Amino acid sequence: MENEQGTSLVQYLSPGQILVGVEAKDSYDLMSQMLDALVESDSFRAQTNISRDQVWRLLIEREKKQSTGIGDGVAFPHGRIPGYKGLSICLAILKRPVDYGSFDGKPVQIACMTLTPEEQPALALRLYSKVAELLADEAIRSFFLSAADARLIYNYLRKKEFTVETILTARDIMRPQLLRIPPEMPLRDAAHLMMRHRVEAAAVLEKDGRIVGMITCDDIFRYGVPEFFSHLQSVAFIREFDPFEKYFLNERKACARDLMSKDFAALPPETTMLEIVFALTIQNYPKVYVVKAGQCIGVIDRAVVLDRIINF
């Protein structure tokens, strides 16, 4: 059933597509069992000229590019299939966790497999976002892991009326805001932190998570360069000028607050992809910070968009 908020999650599921107590030797064995369940589903049977072997090859190709273990014991294997109609989902709860090559090194105990049309990666992304949101809830996670059979999980999802959003938003693609630079952090420490994380821009955050500014490599580079330099066509005639002299003279006493800019993009989780791309390209912000109730809860940059959308 579709409404203004989205499409019901159970619309894509049946008890036969929920596997409980799965015993798998490794990640490929797990994926194979999940694909077998999907092949028997009504959604897969409705496809024309699409075979299990074809789908399996695409799933493996995707897995070889980068593990779909998304962390915290969860995996999201997925395939974008040319000519596929609609969306197919399989949910698997493992009896014992298996190594999945996840970025955080944790073995996987819950997996969700999706098959979507090649031309519609946003469809899988919206589902990915919903599954990640559900499994971040410890109560839901514990219920899934303790459920005795598939029907219990299916009825639980149907009763709760979980929905998949119809529009891709900032919430669906953002990454956690892991880099924390307080306003009083010495400039030297801020520069080292940005270098260690290989970032061009970082949010300056108060202790309560409120974003008050942004510091960029550009800000640091410009710190010792006189304003009139911006009007010059060439600096060949002053080759002896050291652009970092002022930086090194002041780095011990300067802090992030002294260099940060208050011109940054802070947008709510409901921000659409169009607005995000507009901020990154037309307005030329290096990052979009996702803010909820005054706190910075995530970050989006061009690399995130490439990873989440184009390479998903």
For the chain, domain boundaries: 7-166, 187-221+254-310
Spans of the chain below 70 pLDDT:
1-6, 166, 224-251, 310-312
Exposure string for 121-144, b = 16+ CB within 10 A, e = fewer: bbbbbbbbbbbbebbeeeebbeeb
What pLDDT shows up at residue 1?
A: 41
> Which 3-state string (H, E, C) describes the chain?
CECCCCEEHHHHCCHHHEEEEECCCCHHHHHHHHHHHHHCCHHHHCCCCCCHHHHHHHHHHHHHHCCCEEECCEECCEEEECCCCCCEEEEEEEEEEECCCCCCCCCEEEEEEEEEECCCHHHHHHHHHHHHHHHCCHHHHHHHHHCCCHHHHHHHHHHHCCEECCCCEHHHHCECCCCCECCCCEHHHHHHHHHHHCCCEEEEECCCCCEEEEEEHHHHHHCCCCHHHHHCCCCHHHCCCCCCHHHHHHCCCCEHHHHCECCCEEECCCCEHHHHHHHHHHCCCCCEEEEECCEEEEEECHHHHHHHHHCC
What pLDDT shows up at residue 3?
A: 42
pLDDT digits (tens, 9 = 90+) for 259-274: 899 999 999 999 988 8
**Class of CATH domain 187-221+254-310:** alpha beta
Contact 243, 220 (CB under 8 A): no
Active site residue 197: no
What pTM value is reported for the model?
Answer: 0.69
What pLDDT shows up at residue 155?
A: 93
| φ, ψ dihedrals at 14, nearest 5° | -145, 160
* Nearest Cα to Cα of residue 190 among 162, 219, 210: 219
Is the domain spanning 7-166 CATH 3.90.79.10? The answer is no
Annotated catalytic residue: which of 78, 192, 197, 231? 78
What pLDDT shows up at residue 173?
A: 86
Cα 51 to Cα 212: distance, rounded to the nearest angstrom: 53
